[in-house]
Structure 1
Amino acid sequence: MIPPRSNRSQPLACNILRYRDLNRIERMFNRLKLFRRIATRYDKMAKSFLGFLHLTAAKLWLPGFVKRG
């Protein structure tokens, strides 16, 4: 659910926490799709596709923990 505009006369109820989580998930899928191997699904076997998906997610996730100096 997209939050309503601030100038709306009758504001609709919106769960901001749910919207934030949904947005975070959508952004993660968009980052994963930048890898051509995932976007085009070169791996036909589910096991190898899932393995590469895990490697890609780790590659995107780990730089947040490394201190850059």
Structure 2
Amino acid sequence: YDADSLHDVILNEGGEPVIPPRRHRKYQHSYDKFVYRQRWGIEGFFAKLKQWRRVATRYDKLAANFLGFIKLASIMLWLK
């Protein structure tokens, strides 16, 4: 993820990259550590959410049913 071209593409598109640079890079670009921690928390949440087979394989055909189970699974994770 630490490609200079990827960093430049994100900046050109108007985004703010929150990818930390590798330690061996000569040029260490800046990034927001707080936002990176939040990003990691969200990725970890989705990893836990995908432990339910129903979510990972998307058994539900209707978007409303799928969203309902996502909410139910999220509540179960939050209460855990």
TM-score under structure 2 length normalisation = 0.68
Cα distance in structure 2, aligned partners of 1:53 and 1:28: 12
Fraction of identical pairs, as percent: 46
How many residues are paired up?
Answer: 63
Q: CA deviation at 1:18?
A: 1.2
Post-superposition Cα deviations, 1:10-64, rounded to whole Å, max 9, x if no partner, equal 432011011111111110111011100000000000111111100000000012x
The corresponding residue for 2:52 is: 35
Superposition pairs for residues 11-50 of structure 1, below 5 Å?
11-50=28-67
Question: Gaps (5+ residues) in structure 2?
Answer: 1-17
Cα distance in structure 1, aligned partners of 2:38 and 2:61:
30
Give the 3-state SS of the residue equivalent to 1:27 in structure 2: helix
TM-score by length of structure 1 reads 0.78
Could you list the runs of 4 or more consecutive aligned residues of structure 1 that deviate by over 4 angstroms after TM superposition? Answer: 5-9
